[in-house]
Structure 1
Amino acid sequence: MTHADRPLVISAPEPRSLDLIFTAEARADLKRRYRIVEADPEDIAGLGDAVLGEARFILGQPPLCEETLARMPKLRAVLNVESNLINNMPYDVLFARGIHVVTTGQVFAEPVAELGLAMALNLLRGVVDADLAFREGRELWGGEGNRAARLLSGAEIGIVGFGDLGKALNRVLTGFRARIRVFDPWMPASILKDNGVEPASLDTVLSDSDVVFVVAAVTSENEGFLGAEAFARMRRGAAFILLSRAGVVDFDALMAAVERGHIVAASDVFPEEPLPADHPVRRLDGFLRSAHRAGALDSAFTKMGDMVLEDMDLMDRGLPPMRCKRAERETVARMRSKPVAIN
């Protein structure tokens, strides 16, 4: 196959890069099989008809308008490598033309779930605070240091959302003999039961759990839906762990619930990222902070590249993508998560 015969790929994976999501070997394979045109995500329309007319795949999810798509007759797929599908293109046009929109976001499920487990154990056992006290000579020995400690084993756990991340979280909790209830209005009860968890209302998940994990994506229907009333329904001393996006909570209400000692909390995501140096959550006792790093492992990033290559190969052979998760026409336009700015 000559260079001119290779399918054309527009590469606009910001904030990712080809070096980040492909190993050296995979990147060489990508460049051997495809012509790569790198572009600023905001300037796809300016690439010209010679490029747009030949493009078979877009790597990334840059904003696209209907007019630009009309200039791309050979486009087969948009491969999102950010994680959350973004409401920045006319999905109805893409679906009508049979253009796949897929995401590699599932690569983050396992690493995020593992950090979520670590956060839960820390909130229940005070690991970080005990370490800081030890460094400062304020440590409490033996039972004195465990007055507020609780076991995760045998606890009642609630999960809000049961997509890839919720399922991964359920797997890492195996062995703790916990009772796990799940609220997910987009998920049939039978699927939840098949995964060994109990379908439950949001009120039950909040009021009957020792630990609540929130792993729901932000949609047009649930922005800020966990507010002051939701936190007030939680058990006193319960742990609230936010792992998906800050947009699903009223963050001020969350901080207020922690500040008054009603609950403890942990979060890997925040309303602004990077977080301002003077943001009050930085000084809040009872709040465990992580700088949106739960999924950001090299092994996860390079797994993205492998998935992309495999699915592009399938589509080159007239088959549907199978490694990446395909957008659903009924739900994708409801997504409201903000794209990440930092890997």
Structure 2
Amino acid sequence: MATTTKPLIISAPEPRSIDLIFTDVAKEALYDRYRIVEVEQHKVDELPEETLAEARYILGQPPLSPELLARLQNLRCVLNVESNLINNMPYETLFQRGIHVVTTGAVFAEPVAEIGLGMALDLARGISQSDAAFRTGTELWGGDGNSTARLLSGAEVGIIGFGDLGRTLNRLLTGFRCTIRVFDPWLPPSILTDHGVVPSSLDTVLTQSDFIFVMAAVTAENKSFLDAEAFASMRKGANFILLSRADVVDFDALLAAVRSGHIQAATDVFPEEPLAADHPARSVPGLLLSAHRAGALDIAFKRMGDMVLEDMTLMDRGLPPMRCKRAERETVARMRSKPVDRN
């Protein structure tokens, strides 16, 4: 009786791990349906020729040189579970060969959007500042503690970047009856209007918003595009929430704008992580800090495994991946986000 050889997966998901991204049930299904060869990212090219030639999937996004890619004769998909599409492989060759490159980054949309909403409410109502004052005996009671407070309900909101993060945030804001303006140069206006938001220029978003949420990925075109001039153009007292990547912001200019009292801000990301103990951001009043933890929930990591299994099942049947987000030929090489080195 003939036996069927299970498809082979090269597993190099650093900084993730199989145990992190798969539930026990999903992990059992993974090993039941596939053969797994685990390897460190930088050692994929040291695998035996027969392993490379047979591999159907790569879990992770290890560096793939043109020479290494040529040895991966049966490769169908690179499943990036780090979330950032990294410029470490010959994408044009991958596309020519019909090899998919996909990312599971969408799993972070809900947790990031939720913490962004929490940050906005904290900035608007001084929640953490009031708590800190209470602990030092300097609290202000009643209206005296609300001299700078404002409502998110009915506010004018700007969103910069309308991918998975921006769209999820927009959905969460529905109940607040905000006017929501969006700047995203990679999307046509009709997609924005279909989501009930107002397509807007960057200048309009900056100058007409009480709350500005930055959800944009770093690209070859937008590094540090939110600079001192951008911050100066914002309404006095505006609330700026940075949730995607720090490199879209001139971070020194952001700190200066907050320190001057012109705006308040919250950030989950920083130019260098972890943040140095003596970094000036740690002592700027009006700046709410979070240690790049917005998306790092176990439930999000486990959703990665479910997405990966579903898409591999589709591809095993000769269908395209549908759950993970596919890299696009026109934009993938323009991405410039730094890969994360911790979960």
TM-score computed with the length of structure 1 as normaliser = 0.99
Q: Distance in 1 between matches of 2:199 and 2:148?
A: 30
Q: Distance in 1 between matches of 2:71 and 2:48?
A: 9
Q: Which runs of 5+ in 2 are unaligned?
A: none
Q: Which residue of 1 aligns with 2:128?
A: 128
SS in 2 for 1:181: strand
Mapping 1:244-323, distance limit 5 Å? 244-323=244-323
Q: Distance in 2 between matches of 1:139 and 1:2?
A: 77
Q: Distance in 2 between matches of 1:227 and 1:312?
A: 42
Q: Which residue of 1 aligns with 2:39?
A: 39
Q: Distance in 1 between matches of 2:61 and 2:28?
A: 22
Q: Which residue of 2 aligns with 1:90?
A: 90
AA matched with 1:149: A
Q: Which residue of 2 aligns with 1:147?
A: 147
CA change 1:2–1:49 in 2 (3 A) is: farther
SS in 2 for 1:5: coil
Q: Which residue of 1 aligns with 2:341?
A: 341
Kindly report structure 1 stretches of 4+ aligned residues shifted beyond 6 Å: 1-4
Contact 1:3 1:35 in 2 (8 A): no
Query: Once the two structures are superposed, what CA deviation does each residue of 1:189-235 show, in whole Å capped at 9, x if it has no partner?
Result: 00100000000000000000000000000000101111000000000
CA shift for structure 1 position 2 = 9.1
Q: Distance in 1 between matches of 2:257 and 2:3?
A: 60
CA change 1:2–1:324 in 2 (3 A) is: farther
Q: Which residue of 2 aligns with 1:325?
A: 325
Contact 1:269 1:290 in 2 (8 A): yes
Q: Which residue of 2 aligns with 1:234?
A: 234
AA matched with 1:169: L
CA change 1:143–1:3 in 2 (3 A) is: farther
Q: Distance in 1 between matches of 2:295 and 2:274?
A: 16
Q: Which moved more, 1:48-57 or 1:331-340?
A: 48-57
AA matched with 1:82: E
Q: Which moved more, 1:195-204 or 1:3-12?
A: 3-12
Q: Distance in 1 between matches of 2:30 and 2:97?
A: 26
SS in 2 for 1:165: helix
Q: Which residue of 2 aligns with 1:100?
A: 100
CA change 1:203–1:20 in 2 (3 A) is: same
Q: Distance in 2 between matches of 1:39 and 1:9?
A: 11
Query: Once the two structures are superposed, what CA deviation does each residue of 1:8-29 show, in whole Å capped at 9, x if it has no partner?
Result: 1000110100000000111111
Q: Which residue of 2 aligns with 1:22?
A: 22
Matched, 1:202 2:202: yes
AA matched with 1:181: R
Equivalent pairs counted in the alignment come to: 343
Q: Distance in 2 between matches of 1:341 and 1:122?
A: 29
Q: Which residue of 2 aligns with 1:213?
A: 213
Q: Distance in 2 between matches of 1:156 and 1:288?
A: 21
Contact 1:157 1:209 in 2 (8 A): yes
CA change 1:202–1:246 in 2 (3 A) is: same
CA shift for structure 1 position 3 = 8.8
CA shift for structure 1 position 44 = 1.0
Q: Which residue of 1 aligns with 2:178?
A: 178
SS in 2 for 1:51: helix
SS in 2 for 1:93: helix
Q: Which runs of 5+ in 1 are unaligned?
A: none
CA shift for structure 1 position 138 = 1.1
Query: Once the two structures are superposed, what CA deviation does each residue of 1:137-193 show, in whole Å capped at 9, x if it has no partner?
Result: 111110011011000011100000000100001001011111000000001000100
SS in 2 for 1:70: helix
Q: Distance in 2 between matches of 1:85 and 1:148?
A: 41
Query: Once the two structures are superposed, what CA deviation does each residue of 1:250-284 show, in whole Å capped at 9, x if it has no partner?
Result: 10110011111111100000001111111110111
TM-score computed with the length of structure 2 as normaliser = 0.99
Matched, 1:224 2:244: no
AA matched with 2:275: L
AA matched with 2:21: I
Q: Distance in 1 between matches of 2:12 and 2:178?
A: 43
Q: Distance in 1 between matches of 2:251 and 2:147?
A: 28
AA matched with 1:200: S
